[in-house]
Amino acid sequence: MQSETAQAAGLALLCMAIVGLIDNFVVIIAEEAGLWQFHLVRAVMVCSFLAVLSRIFGWRLRPKSWWRVVVRSACGGVAMAIYFGSLSLLSIAQAGAGLFTAPIFVLLFSVLFFGQRIGLWRVLAALVGFAGAVLVLRPDPQALSAVSLLPVAAGLSWALAALTTRQLCAEETTATLLFGFFGALGFIGAVGLLYISVQGAPANWQEEAAFFARGWVTPTPRFWFWVGVQATGSVIAIGCLTRAYQIGETSYVAPFEYSFLIFAGFWAWVIWGDTLDVWAFLGIGAIVVSGSVIALRTRDA
């Protein structure tokens, strides 16, 4: 059991390292096309890739339980759609701080709905990790509004995706869950494109939230390349995270997602030259402490 917990933690960290790298290039994709086109094209790439690999290696894509995989895929797809959509309406600080409420929801739901005993140390560690995320991102309290709750909704939905991965889909293959997750994102992307093509987006969105409001545009070679990078990195990263939640207890694995902030900050420094201030380093320290406590407290205490 302890070896599986350690393996799950390692897989989660690998996922965050990859995502922290590839998400730095979303700004390039945003210059070429819109959010919904990005989701649709990436999903087609990933699902096609998985279909080919399943033929070669004999992977099973067909779910053992359709409704369970659909529920899990819908939770994950909605979470990412809300999160990326909120980025066009809010600052990255507000959106990120809201999304990183997910481990708190995981702990809460684990107690309320699954009767798990979490233990004081893990509760405190999750709270410390969240406080660290806020220190890194520092959302402006004066700018909060009803719209600011959108990323929190994304965090709630992502927590449900994490919980259903182990509680409902433990017997499904990683390939099945990957196919379902990206299939849900592709469906959401297609619906978004259809809505914009029929109804159009509000005029003010074209300036304030162009990534969210843009319909289909002719893909450029630059777009194809970076979406291909995203697709390749995403299928590896989400595959690692999915497997982590399948073999590790959800409340143990979830706080390791905070490490995304460390990796994203590191890659932003390497690629773009972005630097962090003292508060950000304090926040990263809190995140590291949080993850270390979760890793060491393999029993409730």
74-83, 160-169, 244-253: lowest mean pLDDT where?
244-253
DSSP states of 226-243? HHHHHHHHHHHHHHHHHH
Residue 19 belongs to some domain of the structure: yes
Average confidence score pLDDT of the chain: 83
Indicate the number of domains in the chain.
Answer: 1
- Tell me the pLDDT tens digit for each residue of 9-18: 899 999 999 9
Closest-CA residue to 94 (of 154, 13, 25, 12): 154
Q: What mean pLDDT do residues 166-174 have?
A: 87
Percent of the chain with pLDDT over 90: 32
- pLDDT over 90 (residue 27): no
Per the structure, the complete domain to which residue 123 belongs is given by 2-296
Residue 259 belongs to some domain of the structure: yes
Residue 301 belongs to some domain of the structure: no
pLDDT band at 205 (very low <50, low <70, confident <90, very high): low
Residue 119 belongs to some domain of the structure: yes
DSSP states of 147-213? GGHHHHHHHHHHHHHHHHHHHTTTTS-HHHHHHHHHHHHHHHHHHHHHHHHHH---HHHHHH-HHHH
Q: What mean pLDDT do residues 227-237 have?
A: 93
93 vs 270, which has greater pLDDT?
270
Residue 102 belongs to some domain of the structure: yes
pLDDT band at 144 (very low <50, low <70, confident <90, very high): low
pLDDT band at 300 (very low <50, low <70, confident <90, very high): very low
Q: What mean pLDDT do residues 18-47 have?
A: 90
Residue 61 belongs to some domain of the structure: yes
> What per-residue confidence (pLDDT) applies to 218?
93
Contact criterion met (CB below 8 Å) for 94 and 151: yes
- Tell me the pLDDT tens digit for each residue of 83-116: 877 766 666 666 766 777 777 788 788 778 777 7
Contact criterion met (CB below 8 Å) for 230 and 219: no
Contact criterion met (CB below 8 Å) for 98 and 154: yes
Tokens of 27: 């700004």
284 vs 218, which has greater pLDDT?
218
- Tell me the pLDDT tens digit for each residue of 48-74: 999 998 999 888 999 999 999 999 999
> What per-residue confidence (pLDDT) applies to 224?
96
Residue 248 belongs to some domain of the structure: yes
**Number of helical H runs and strand E runs in the chain:** 15, 0
Residue 98 belongs to some domain of the structure: yes
- Is the pTM value of this prediction over 0.95? no
